[in-house]
Chain A
Amino acid sequence: MIKFNLKLIVLSFLLLISLKPLQSAEMADPIKVDWSFKGLTGTFDRASLQRGFQVYKEVCASCHSMQYLSYRNLGEPGGPEFSEQEVKAIASSFEIEDGPDSQGEMFTRPGKPSDKFKSPYPNVQAATAANGGAYPPDMSVLVKARKGGANYIYSVLVGYEDPPPGVTLDDGVYYNKYMAGNKIKMPNNLMDGLVEYADGTESTVDQMAKDVTTFLAWAAEPELEQRHKTGVKVIIYLVLLTTLVYLSMKKIWSRVDTEV
């Protein structure tokens, strides 16, 4: 009886879910990429994170802030894992405003690993004004803030196309297959050979898009590797404990004439 009804529930659910594709057809489903950080034991590709940081620094960072990250994060385990010297060098290449000093004046100094990533604009309004009225979103948690996550970000980066006939675009608006409404105010900034990768990898658009998306995925979830590792241990521990408790339960209940 109960079994039959469960089937009924499952069936009616499948029926409902099959109705879903009817609702929206305007934006393409994101490309599915086989990311190394997917799955129960997924980890980040260290080299890809380092290249991704380079793309971020040389391309994205001129408009997008990443205000919740600190330079020290770049050297922490589970991330790009730059060496201590490299992190110091990266941090000190930025001029950070500090102060007030004992005279009450603000001053600038070279960045330290403990500083937060320097934002390209002083505030949201300035960023919006400088970008044709569209605020370039902070990228700290961008991957978590978009439906489709890393796949979506990657798809948008490689999804620029000429608009189909009949679609007219205003100045400063671009056509993108994967963007909601297909209109995006960010120009297509990636072109083959744009950055010169330190490790000699060929910087195709696809490669850069993958690398920077990997970097953004890490930025949004810097705990991912530790989370996966701890998770596997926790589940193994719980399964063992559950087995022991199950056996104890069977033993205890064997004194009673009832099954558990």
Chain B
Amino acid sequence: MSEQEYVPKSKAGKWFNDRLPLLTLGAHLTDYPTPKNLNYWWTFGGILTFCLITQIVTGIVLAMHYVAHADLAFASVEHIMRDVNYGWLIRYIHSNGASMFFLAVYIHIFRSLFYGSYKSPREVIWIIGLMIYLLMMAAAFMGYVLPWGQMSFWGATVITNLFSAIPLVGDSITTWLWGAYSVDNPTLNRFFSLHYLIPFLILGLVVLHIWALHVPGNNNPVGIDIKKPSKDTVPFHPYITIKDAFALLVFMIIFAGFVFFTPNVLGHSDNYIPANPLVTPAHIVPEWYLLPFYAILRSVPDKLGGVILMFSAIFILFVLPWLDTSKVRSAVFRPIYRQFFWILVIDVLMLGYVGAMPAEGIYLVLARVGTIYYFLHFIVVMPVVGYLEKTDPIPMSISEPVLNGGAEPSLARKANDKV
């Protein structure tokens, strides 16, 4: 990076910065040259950071009042809701915050898919991002167990039982996870411990994620490499900070709408029934953000097969940078891939929908079709389309859309407008 060496103005600042270059880091973050054509889909990185901090802060306060014991957990949550000052607000922010976190992360991931942000040289950013996503799912799942309601208990039972599908050692692993012979108090205790740990692991990975981002710099809607700094870039502060702040505030309005006016709409009513190992709910469903994977799991008649397929659905994303054979990053210039991208979006939404429905009849058929398409998209469509597709002409820079091969400049401008 061709940044000028930063020298603090004050003597004390210079003294400190020579020993720990925090001020240099601050200067790097404010001056960081960012493509000026980033659209609002790029604001979700900042929004996600906000979500993580919100979850950590509200979570720390909740942990001061929560009791991780099978006999007391449900009552302690009601204690938070009724007796702790603004406990209802803190808990509703935390529970809805998880949903908002996933909403933002899905938009963030699909943005990356559309604009090819996972491709060289950004593979490591992508992989770290997926690790964050995996940890998020683990944290969310364990967090959902903590209120010790019916869905907590039975959700935990279903998910931990998946491990029993592993040949030979499956049952031992499940018992080891439980710390008992069924989901019980030891399970709740360790889930609480891990639920408190994971967000800080995520925080560490977020630092790496941003660090890895700052090496090649941001991708952008046009998907081309740009010179930094140049006419194509703006300093991160104030241009991107103010734009991120605006997007974040719009996001917070939606967030507040959920928290204050429909705080339970994203949860399941059964979770206000205390956990009862003797009564199984009619339909055990995970939280909405895990539903597509739940649909994939249930689309396979064999338990082990379902588990393998479900985990493959996530792990296939790790090799995505190498499955995509196209040299062009942004789908804006990929007329064929663009269609398939939207089919994938519909496919995942459909899987989410059937994941909430009973696994029978038309829903099972849809789940199977959706699952097959999901894998086809990554294993077949991505490599093949990358080879065969005739991409649209790509501009040379963001500011001056000059074309490869000297075709019409108006075309490129049109392409840029679309972005």
Measured CB to CB, the residues of A under 8 A from B are 1-2, 5, 8-9, 12-13, 16-17, 19-20, 22-23, 40, 67-69, 73, 137-138, 140-141, 144-147, 149, 180, 220, 222-223, 227-228, 230-232, 234-235, 238-239, 241-242, 245-246, 248-249, 252-253, 256-258, 260
Contacts and interface: CB of A to CB of B under 8 A. Distances in A.
Given A16-B350, A73-B82, A145-B272, A238 B75 contact: no
A141 B272 CA distance: 7
B273 to A, nearest CB: 5
Contact of A231 (B256, B264, B358): B256
Contacts of B137: none
A230 B89 contact: yes
A223 B273 contact: no
Nearest to B271: A145
B259 interface: yes
Given A16-B350, A16-B353, A245-B242, A235 B358 contact: no
B115 to A, nearest CB: 13
Nearest to A240: B249
Contacts of A232: 260
Given A231-B259, A256-B239, A249 B345 contact: no
B346 A8 contact: yes
Given A227-B88, A242-B253, 7 more contacts: A2-B418, A16-B350, A145-B270, A149-B269, A245-B245, A249-B242, A256-B36
Contact of B353 (A13, A69, A147, A253): A13
B53 interface: no
Greatest chain B CB density within 10 A among A20, A147, A222, A253 is at A253
B284 to A, nearest CB: 14
Nearest to B249: A242
Given A5-B342, A23-B357, A227-B88, A246 B246 contact: yes
Contacts of A228: 260-261
A61 B137 CA distance: 42
Contact of A242 (B81, B88, B89, B246): B246
B272 A235 contact: no
B260 A230 contact: yes
Interface residues of B, number: 47
Contact of A235 (B260, B263, B349): B260
Contacts of B261: 40, 227-228, 231
B170 to A, nearest CB: 33
Nearest to B342: A5
B234 interface: yes
Nearest to A147: B269
B78 interface: yes
A1 B234 contact: no
Interface string B326-341: 0000000000001000
Nearest to A69: B82
B381 interface: no
B252 interface: yes
Nearest to B83: A70
Contact of B346 (A12, A220, A258): A12
- Is the contact region of chain B dominated by helix, strand, or loop, or is it mixed? helix
A241 B251 CA distance: 13
B332 to A, nearest CB: 9
A144 B256 contact: no
Nearest to A13: B349
Contacts of A73: 82
B269 A146 contact: yes
Contact of B256 (A145, A238, A249): A238
Contact of B273 (A1, A137, A180): A137
Nearest to B39: A260
29 contacts: A2-B418, A5-B345, A9-B346, A16-B350, A17-B353, A73-B82, A144-B264, A144-B272, A145-B272, A147-B269, A223-B88, A223-B89, A227-B88, A227-B260, A231-B259, A235-B253, A238-B249, A241-B249, A242-B246, A242-B253, A245-B242, A248-B242, A249-B246, A252-B238, A253-B239, A256-B36, A256-B239, A258-B36, A258-B37
A234 B269 contact: no
Greatest chain A CB density within 10 A among B92, B234, B249 is at B249
Contacts of A140: 78
Contacts of B36: 256, 258
B13 interface: no
B151 to A, nearest CB: 11
A251 to B, nearest CB: 9
Query: Ordered nearest first, which 6 A-B pairs have the shortest CB separation?
Result: A231-B260, A145-B272, A242-B249, A223-B88, A5-B342, A68-B78
Contacts of A9: 342, 345-346, 349
A137 B257 CA distance: 31
Contacts of B342: 5, 8-9
Given A68-B75, A235-B260, A23 B272 contact: no
A5 B335 CA distance: 13
A127 to B, nearest CB: 13
Given A246-B246, A248-B242, A141 B78 contact: yes
B368 interface: no
Contacts of B350: 12, 16
B208 to A, nearest CB: 29
A235 B257 contact: yes
A225 to B, nearest CB: 12
